Structure 1
Amino acid sequence: MNVAYGDVVMYALPQSKLQVAISFKRFWLFGADENNIHGALPDIKVESSKALETVLERI
């Protein structure tokens, strides 16, 4: 990913006492900007409803 979060602080919620992790830093790869916040992009764009059909055709 071009942008990742890190340096986590643990916090206990006051009412439920559940532990949560909160990131307080954002790390950017060199040259990344606000438009690059995504994971891996597919080689072939396919609607989710046709994903299996497309894979089977390509095999």
Structure 2
Amino acid sequence: MSTYTVRGSFPARDGPQEFETEVEAPNEDVAEERILSNLGSQHNLKRTQVTIDEVAA
């Protein structure tokens, strides 16, 4: 599995909150899904609220 760096933002109380997270995944699509799942569970967000700007290997 490769390590991917995912960058993006989501709405927070003080305005947009940017994030940069590394995740291990077999491909970029799975990395994106894992980030959406993690942010949704940690911050009570829906997938449509998270904006992913970049997924880099």
Query: TM range, normalised to the smaller chain?
Result: under 0.3
Q: By percentage of residues, which structure has more helix?
A: 2
**TM norm structure 1:** 0.23
- Which protein is bigger by CA-based radius of gyration? 1
